[in-house]
Amino acid sequence: MPNESPAATPPHGRPPNLATRALGRVARYAKTGDPAATLDRFFDSKHVNDLRTIIFVSFLAVLAVLVVGIVLSFEREWNEWQKLAADPDNARALVDQVRANLPYAAVAGFLAFFGPVLGVFFAVVAWAYQVGSARLGVVDLFACEISTLCRVGTILDTVLHLVEKFDRGPPAPSTSQVASHAASHAASHAVAPAAPASQFVSQEDYFPVFENNTKDLQSLEAGVVINITAFYTYMKAVRDSMRALAEIRPASIEAAAALPWRDGMRNVIYLLYLGFESARKAIADLVEFEPDRAERTVVVLISELTAYGFLRREFSDEDDMRCKRLRLREPEYERVVAEVRAEVEHGRRGGDAAKWEPAWLLLPELHKRQADAVARLPPSPSRPAAA
């Protein structure tokens, strides 16, 4: 997609390195035209920059061997001919014949050692392509799992439901719950109380890609690994926090609004927010096809902004470390939302409008969530209170 304005330039885009530019001419003839094809991505993806550099350096080495080898081969044959010509015992016809065949002898001598060098170069290219293909497969796996988990959270509107549940307050315990709590308290530690019927239990493995491909992360850049690992860590912490929250059982109607429940719910939403934030950054690193990246970013931002507005409302004390950290993100969201909107609008004006349609259809909801989040923000010196 051509960039006609700075706003249309991806915020995470980086100019191609020397190896990528040098291989650009080869890419014109080798590419299939399908952005999802492994061959096309090998020439463009930032995740295989090091492999392209290896190929480029190997190619430079082959060129150096080519030039130096030809010169040395001709020099060696020339020296041999001069020795032959300097010997008066050699017939003139033999000397002339050797001189006529000198170019062919030099080429034959050169090919004798340049052939294996060329074979090694093609072996390096084949190795780099295999490693790059496997690495791009790992990137796709993590991008798919992270995007799918975030999409599920957005489709179910998990953050908004948790915020509404927090605003309603903890549910009042039923009579059976109060009686069960009293009985278990009276029995002390004689018999372990049975788990409540509504206790949160999570036994499914929702992170199969992360669990089975952790070693493959070593081949990715440090920044990419940090965002991926942070996402899964926060999501596992959400699961553990939900389990701990479900174990908080008020003993009476009066204790229903107990502080531990509200603190636990607030922590769950905070962890979800950090997870969505890490997912958005991971998607920016992993997904390179612009329409898909924009659509997945919007999906994440819908839930992320909802959680952000709630947290800014709950942590409004200027002396609180969490309030300060949250305030730092405010200009970032204004920039990110503006950039993704400009990118989608610019893409729809191009020849691939249909590919940008999924992201375009989500923009109204993104703007609504952003407006709701801003409305929840406490007034600051740079922003007046919402009307």
The answer to whether position 193 is within a domain reads no
Residue 200 resides in a domain: no
Lowest mean pLDDT among 130-144, 190-204, 268-282: 190-204
pLDDT at 373: 87
Query: Based on the domain organization, do 249 and 349 belong to the same domain?
Result: yes
Ranges 161-165, 256-260, 275-279, 327-331: which has the least confidence: 256-260
**Residues 166, 278 share a domain:** yes
Residue 154 sits in the same domain as residue 20? no
Claim to verify: residue 217 and residue 346 sit in the same structural domain: yes
Residue 316 lies in a domain: yes
Residue type at 107 in one-letter notation: V
3-state SS assignment for residue 380: strand
Interior CA angle at 348 toward 345 and 352, to 5°?
A: 150
pLDDT(173) > 70: no
Question: Average pLDDT, whole number, for the chain?
Answer: 80
Return the pLDDT at 78: 77
Break the chain down into helix, strand, coil percent, rounded to 5: 75, 0, 25
C-alpha distances in Å from residue 294, one per residue of 154, 300, 344, 362: 15, 10, 7, 10
Does 270 map to a domain? yes
The answer, yes or no, to whether residue 337 has pLDDT greater than 90, is yes
Both 52 and 89 in a single domain? Answer: yes
Residue ranges with strand state E in the chain: none
Structural domain includes residue 70: yes
Query: What's the confidence (pLDDT) of residue 180?
Result: 52
Measured CA to CA, the distance from residue 309 to residue 313 in angstroms comes to 6
* Residue carrying structure tokens 């890490």: 278
Query: According to the model, what pLDDT value does residue 176 have?
Result: 52
- The residue to which tokens 């590419």 are assigned: 31
Question: What is the per-residue pLDDT across 282-321, written as a single tens digit (0 to 9) for each?
Answer: 999 999 999 999 999 999 999 999 999 999 999 988 888 9
Question: Is 179 a residue whose pLDDT tops 70?
Answer: no
Q: CA nearest 101: which of 72, 80, 115?
A: 80
Q: Let me know if residue 279 belongs to a domain.
A: yes
pLDDT in tens, 232-249: 999 999 999 888 887 775
For position 346, what pLDDT does the model report? 93
pLDDT at 29: 65
Domain that holds residue 56: 16-129
Whole-number percent of the chain with pLDDT over 90: 43
327 token code pair: 């305030």
Same domain, 258 and 355: yes
**Of the listed ranges 18-32, 107-121, 195-209, 227-241, the one predicted with least confidence:** 195-209
Determine the Cα–Cα distance for residues 356 and 350; give it in Å rounded to an integer: 10
> pTM surpassing 0.75?
yes
